[in-house]
Chains A and B, each alone.
Chain A
Amino acid sequence: EAQVTQNPRYLITVTGKKLTVTCSQNMNHEYMSWYRQDPGLGLRQIYYSMNVEVTDKGDVPEGYKVSRKEKRNFPLILESPSPNQTSLYFCASSLSPAGGLKTQYFGPGTRLLVL
């Protein structure tokens, strides 16, 4: 089954404790992206990757890191989480490197609470 998977689905952590949210897709997609969704602010892009070893900042990259060592995986790293990073996070992928111009498929989401 073609899908985007994320882990964990739910996470409660404390300020400053490093964490990684994994994202994996099995569709051989070139483009992958991370979004956060907050009430009243909608979905905002954190980072994106147009291919292996090619990543760039989205609209709200502060406090986040990513890597793209393999085509299928695109982990999101919070080196020192803060309460303002409490949010619902989505990973997405798209076949075309022009990810903004083609259909993106979303993972199930990771709900993060930083105390």
Chain B
Amino acid sequence: QKEVEQNSGPLSVPEGAIASLNCTYSDRVSQSFFWYRQYSGKSPELIMSIYSNGDKEDGRFTAQLNKASQYVSLLIRDSQPSDSATYLCAVGRAGGATNKLIFGTGTLLAVQP
């Protein structure tokens, strides 16, 4: 089992719809959770971070965390063609000297005009 799992997609949604991206993680001691957006050939760019259970909203983006279910999601409202990218879920785990970020393989989102 991978430490951080995402559906590779592609997830195709029409312009203006809500895109829902999901991520599960295996290590219960994980403390921090991030969503990065990566355009093809470019570097990852932070979209959202979330540290406690519940929802966190920032503009069109909402991150949701459920630690009991080991599940984190990203909702993108009013999806735009410019949102088409790969979305990487990353989970932070503290462990003495081994504080590290574990990435999923990403979900490709395609927003159709």
Contacts and interface: CB of A to CB of B under 8 A. Distances in A.
B97 A100 contact: no
Nearest to A35: B103
Interface string A77-115: 000000000000010000001111111111111000000
7 contacts: A33-B101, A41-B105, A42-B104, A99-B101, A100-B101, A101-B31, A101-B94
Which 4 residue pairs of A and B lie closest in terms of their CB atoms, listed nearest first?
A: A100-B99, A42-B105, A106-B43, A43-B103
Contacts of A43: 44, 88, 90, 103
A48 interface: yes
Interface of A: 31, 33, 35, 40-45, 48, 50, 56, 58, 90, 97-109
B94 to A, nearest CB: 6
A92 to B, nearest CB: 8
Interface string B58-99: 000000000000000000000000000000101011100111
